[in-house]
Amino acid sequence: MPLIVCHGLKGGAGTTFIASHLAMALSEMGADVTVLTVAPRNTLPLHFGLQPALTLPSLFAPAEDAVLAGGINLRSHLPALDDPDFVPVLGEMGYLETGMDKVMVIDVPASEYTFARRIVPHASASVCVLNAAPDTLALMPQVLDEASPENIAATTFVINALDETRRLSRHSAAFLRELVGTRLLGRVRLDEAVPEAIAMLQPLSKYAPSSAALVDVRAIGAAVIPALDTPGRPWVARGAHGSPSASRAA
């Protein structure tokens, strides 16, 4: 079961949205998907149309306690943040293997940067969620300088909530593409249907099946697939038609 780690540079980038819908996209392609959140205050259930007060079971809770949404297994495991044996245990459970049949997506809040750095080297794919905004641009040089060479090569990027009607947003996205190159998986357009679906306690796919954001995140799911069957890294993210994803996201 390959591991996909979704993380971000700062709060509010939409990491949980990307993790949730990446899981849904992979599930639609036939994968058996588990989504694990390590956020103390998580909003994961909302993206699946579930009540926000729902308590998700631990990763190690029995199958009869599972919370399933559209066939996707939702779990929460806060002890992972401080558990030095978390990665070895994942390996023992088969969560670090390659293949498309079973996939685990871990939603890591931006505040848990240390945990993200610890687990990314063991993942088949690492997806860092960005916003096309000046504060994100200010953080990027520092992040790229701090990351080890192997982690830089393994990490891919997604620009979320891109407002293509705003010049600053378009220019910021262009600069981000220059910085990360072929490691840009794609972009998700700003779409008011996303918060509306959450407010209605409905999955986005049910509330707005033709949502622009939904189309974008499904394409990102397709772009992640090559990493799931490739045990070696670095890998170059490619779009659904085989072209480098950075040009697709322009």
Per-residue pLDDT of the chain (250 residues; tens, 9 = 90+): 689 999 998 999 999 999 999 999 999 988 899 999 999 888 999 999 999 889 999 999 999 999 999 999 999 999 999 999 999 998 888 877 766 678 999 999 999 989 998 998 888 899 999 999 999 999 998 777 765 555 554 689 999 999 999 999 999 999 999 998 888 999 999 999 999 999 999 999 999 999 999 999 999 999 998 877 654 433 333 343 333 443 333 3
Under 8 Å between Cβ of 95 and 1? yes
Strand order through the sheet with 72-76 = 67-69, 72-76, 32-37, 102-107, 3-8, 125-131, 155-162, 184-189
pTM reported for the whole predicted model: 0.88
Q: Which residues contact 243 (CB under 8 A, 6 or more apart)?
A: none
Homologous superfamily (CATH) for 3-248: P-loop containing nucleotide triphosphate hydrolases (3.40.50.300)
3-class secondary-structure state, position 45? helix
In sequence order, what are the beta bridge partners of 128? 7, 157
Which tokens go with 196?
Answer: 């509306």
